[in-house]
Amino acid sequence: MTQMTEMIDPVTGEIIDEQQVAQQLLAQAKEQGVSLVGPGGLLAGLTKTVLETALEVEMAEHLGYEKHQVSDSGNARNGTRSKTVLTEVGAVEIEVPRDRDGSFQPKIVRKRQRRLDGIDEIVLSLTARGLTTGEVAAHFDDVYGASVSKDTISKITDKVIEEMTEWQNRPLDRVYPVVSSHRCES
């Protein structure tokens, strides 16, 4: 059984019962006819909210002031741009904040990044099990409701193969120290 971490409400300072919040979200989703997974699902909505909140925090740190505050730093917020990222819960459309001088370099969802890190592992796992690029693409469409091209899947596997080849061909040291925890007793 997974244990949830304790969260504190930033406004009231009270401890939030995460399991109760999750149950309320599930009940509300069920009441409104919203599915848990897939496009427009509860998890996709939560993922969108978390990613956009994290991006706004990154922007505030970059500019040195919070949203709706005035600053004389010379750089300022300049709206957002839509971006679709592929996540473990499916394709999620997010709004990425921009700044006027274009110096904002988000870290949680980098510029030109279309997949969050876990997706590469899923593609590799399915490919390692012998699925073709077409079968992997069909799997993403069935399970995540996300359209991933065969070309994208090939690029992911090619990237990993390239990294593995690079690692295999790295120069080796002539001598490696060995540390043993085995004790000899006489």
The answer as to whether 27 is a domain residue is no
Residues 108 and 124 in one domain: no
User: 44 and 101: one domain?
Assistant: yes
The residues that bridge with 85 in the sheet, in sequence order, are 92
Per DSSP, the residues of 124-141 read: HHHHHTT--HHHHHHHHH
Domain that holds residue 42: 33-114
Give domain status of residue 186, yes or no.
Answer: no
How would you label 104-114 residue by residue, b for 16+ Cβ within 10 Å and e otherwise? bebebbeeeee
Q: How many domains does the chain have?
A: 2
Residue 133 and residue 81 share a domain: no
Q: How many residues does the chain have?
A: 186
- Taking the mean position of all CA atoms in its chain, how far away is CA 118? 7
Residue 91 three-state SS: strand
pLDDT in tens, 121-138: 777 778 778 888 888 888
Indicate whether 41 and 107 sit together in one domain.
Answer: yes
Same domain, 153 and 107: no
Residue 96 banded pLDDT, cuts 50, 70, 90: very high
On whether both 110 and 37 belong to a single domain, the answer is yes
| Phi-psi label, residue 68: left if phi above 0, alpha if psi -120 to 50, beta otherwise | left
Q: What is the DSSP letter of 33?
A: T
Helix (H, G, I), strand (E, B) or coil at 89: coil
Region class of 25: left (phi > 0), else alpha (psi between -120 and 50), else beta: alpha
Residue 10 lies in a domain: no
d(CA 126, CA 139) in angstroms, rounded, equals 9
Does 38 lie in the same domain as 102?
A: yes
Same domain, 102 and 62: yes
95 belongs to a structural domain: yes
Supply 175's token pair: 């001598």
Residue at 25 is within a domain: no
> What is the three-class DSSP state of 180?
coil
**Is there a single domain that holds both residue 155 and residue 138?**
yes
Question: Model pTM?
Answer: 0.61
Q: Mean pLDDT for the chain? A: 80
Domain check: are 57 and 93 in the same one? yes
3-state secondary structure of 30: helix
- Model pLDDT for residues 37-94, shown as the tens digit of each residue: 777 788 888 888 888 988 888 898 899 888 888 777 788 999 999 999 988 778 889 9
Q: How confident is the model at residue 9 (pLDDT cuts 50, 70, 90)?
A: low
**131 by DSSP, 3-state: which?**
coil
